[in-house]
Amino acid sequence: MRKTRLLKSLIARPEILVMPGAYDPISARLIELAGFEAVQATGLGITAASLGLPDFSVMGMSDMAERTGRLVRSTRLPVMADGDNGFGNAVNTVLTVREFEAAGAAGINLEDQRIPKRCGHLAGKQIVSAAEMVQKVRAAAEARQDPDFVINARTDSLAIAGPEEAIRRGNAYLEAGASMVFVDGTDSAETVARLVAGIRGPVAVNMVEGGKTPPDLTVARLQELGVARVSLPVTALLAAVGGMQRALAGLKAHGEPARYQDALAGFEAFHSLVGMDEVRALESRYAVAEGDEEVAAE
């Protein structure tokens, strides 16, 4: 099954689709090995890991698509790309969809924030008009080559104009050709229930540790509420940063790797993760037997 069709079917089924965020090929591969069924490319994470900068419209479309392609090639799972706000107007959105589809993504997030955009769980967001975003969604739907390529239309209007506006926009985006509506920054089960009841299509949300997500809004609760898909964009990133902080602090304080060894991935396990077993197999397959060098030279 094509990855686009697989992602679309995972969204349409009754069971909620859980998509942790990947910011590099290693995190994408770990998501697959953990047993998840799809990967969300996180623009925040890719920007932070690549540039050491915040998610503030500082990475261009071509760079983001190229890094997304690396994620796609590192896993067998379908990858949902992060297309920000289409990196401009509706014309830019056409080019964005073409670029990310060519990179192998199975779908793309497109949001209605103004430039510079920012993480949906931060204050200070601004949104474009619903009419402008409708044209972007229409452009995206018409630009895709594969009709199963998922257009995940994100609205950041909840924090700015409330749930009714998010519902109004969500339905308008679905009518324009979106496959699913992603309402960012949901802060309560009551709000989620209202959104699911009002939006006439699959609803996606995210869970951000330390953001607006309340502790009681678990995956199981979102399933009960009828959410089609939930992404966890920063789980792997924050875990990696926290792990590095603890290991480096232990090294600085004690100078003894044995003191924090249990917190590290195994050296051989890491090499297996990045494909060293295959390299060794290829080396063995194509090794030149002793004496063959001389025969080849003759």
Q: Mean per-residue pLDDT for 91-106?
A: 98
According to DSSP, the residues that pair with 230 across neighbouring strands are 18, 205
* pLDDT given at position 289: 82
The residue behind tokens 């209202």 is 194
Distances (CA, A) of 198 to 6, 17, 74, 186: 26, 20, 38, 15
Q: Is 236:46 a contact under the CB 8 Å cutoff?
A: no
What SS3 class is residue 140? Answer: helix
Record the tokens describing residue 250, joined without a space.
Answer: 């232990």
Q: Find out whether 122 and 156 touch, Cβ atoms under 8 Å.
A: no
pLDDT over threshold 60, residue 295:
no
- For residue 128 the two structure tokens come to 């474009």
Cα separation, 146 vs 184, in Å, equals 26
- For each of the domains in the chain, give its residue range(s) and CATH number, in order of start: 3-233 (3.20.20.60), 241-297 (no CATH)
Q: Name which of 45, 51, 120, 116 is nearest 87 in CA terms.
A: 116
Instruction: Please write the tens of the pLDDT for every residue from 118-158.
Output: 888 888 899 999 999 999 999 999 999 999 999 999 999 99
Instruction: Report pLDDT digits (tens) over 182-233.
Output: 999 999 999 999 999 999 999 999 999 999 999 899 999 999 999 999 999 9
- Judged against a pLDDT cut of 80, whether residue 56 lies above it is answered with yes
Question: Does the predicted model carry a pTM greater than 0.75?
Answer: yes
Q: Please, where are the H alpha helices in the chain?
A: 3-12, 25-33, 43-51, 61-74, 90-102, 130-143, 158-161, 163-175, 189-198, 219-225, 235-254, 267-273, 276-285, 292-297
The reported pLDDT for the residue numbered 20 is 98
